Structure 1
Amino acid sequence: MRFNYQVCSLEYRLNDAFDPLERRIYISKAVLYEGVYLYTKAEDDAQHGKTKWLHNESDPIYLRTKDELYSDYDFTVNIPSTPINMYQLRAEIDFYKLPTKRYQIIIIP
C-alpha cells in the first residue's frame, strides 16, 4: 500500500480548507528512491556471481546521489501556486500530523 488513512485524512482536510474546487494538494514521500546495495570485491562470491558490470571501470555510472536516497523530511506537501496563507496551512498540518513526523511544503507550478 502506498498510503494509509492518515495521508488520506490530511489530504482531504487540506483540500477542503485551501483548494476546495480543484483539489490539487497532495502528499508524497520525501525519499524518492530506495537504496541499492553494491557489493565490494571482498563480498563477491565467485560461485553465485553477484558481480554485474554495467559499464567499464574508467567511466562509472552513478546510480543515485546521496540527496536522492536520504531526506531530512518524512513527507512532502505539494500545493498549487495560488495564494494560500502559509501560517494557516502549517497550523493545519501540525494539528493533523503525528508529532514525530517532519515535513516540507513545495509549491508546484
Structure 2
Amino acid sequence: MSNNTKRWQNIDFEKLVGLLLPTFLRKRKMLAWLRMWVAPLKSLHYDFFQKRNALNGDLYRLAHNGQVCYLRKMLNDNFDPEKRRIRILDGNKFRRKYIYTRGENKPIYLGKMYLRGRSDYADTGVDFIVEIPKEVSELHRTEQNGAERFYAIEAYVDFYRLAGKRYKIVSN
C-alpha cells in the first residue's frame, strides 16, 4: 500500500475532538469529558491496525479461500516455505466391484482385482488429497492409536475447505 492510503487511516482522535469542538466550548473539563467518550473508539482503532498488520491477520485469511490454488499456497506458506512441495490432488474415484453370490450362478473367475481402502471409492471416498513431503510430515506428525494425524495441517485445511468436502492427508 502507498503512504497516501495509510495516511487517511491514521487518525488522532484526541486532536480531532479538539478541532471539531466549537471554540467557545473548548474548556479543560469539556475536552476531558469528550476524550473519555472517544477512548473506546481509539482502542478499537488500535486493535484494527494490530490485526491488519499481523502476518496471519484478517487480510491474509480473507485473501485465501477453499480454491485449490489458494489452499496450496496457504499450506506451503505455513509448512514448507522454502521448497513449496505440498500439493492438492483430486480424490480417488474408483468404482466398487460387485462380487456375485453362489445363488446367482455367475462365474467364479473375477479377473485381476485390487483391494483398496474404504476412502478410495467414489461413493464414500475423499474429494481431495493433500500430499505432503516426508520432511514436513515428520515435523508435524502425531501418532495416536497407531494412526498418523497431522493436527496443525488439518486445522488449516478445515478452516479453508468448503463445507462438505472430505479430504485425506498423505505423506510421500
**Which TM-score bucket, shorter chain as reference?**
0.5 to 0.7
8 A Cα contact 2:93 2:125, kept in partner: no
Equivalent position of 2:134 in the other structure: 81
Q: 2:157 aligns with which of 93, 102, 105?
A: 93
Q: Offset at 1:64?
A: 7.4
- Shift >4 Å, 4+ stretches: 59-69
* More helix, by proportion: 2
Q: Offset at 1:20?
A: 0.4
Partners of 1:103 and 1:21 in 2: how far apart? 25
Q: Offset at 1:60?
A: 6.9
Q: 1:16 aligns with which of 69, 77, 83?
A: 77
Question: Could you tell me the TM-score, scaled by structure 1's length?
Answer: 0.60
Q: Offset at 1:69?
A: 5.1
Partners of 1:104 and 1:74 in 2: how far apart? 8
Question: Could you tell me the TM-score, scaled by structure 2's length?
Answer: 0.40
Equivalent position of 1:46 in the other structure: none
Question: Secondary structure, in 3 states, of the residue corresponding to 1:8?
Answer: helix
Partners of 1:66 and 1:29 in 2: how far apart? 16
Q: Offset at 1:32?
A: 5.3
Q: RMSD of the alignment, in Å?
A: 3.0
Partners of 1:29 and 1:80 in 2: how far apart? 17
Amino acid at match of 1:90: E
Query: Once the two structures are superposed, what CA deviation does each residue of 1:41-99 show, in whole Å capped at 9, x if it has no partner?
Result: xxxxxxxxxxxxxxxx9x87558777665252111000011212521111000000011
Partners of 2:156 and 2:127 in 1: how far apart? 17
Please tell me whether residue 6 in structure 1 is matched to residue 67 in structure 2.
yes
Amino acid at match of 1:99: A
Structure number with higher relative contact order (C-alpha < 8 Å, ≥ 6 residues apart): 1
Q: Offset at 1:107?
A: 0.6
Larger radius of gyration: 2
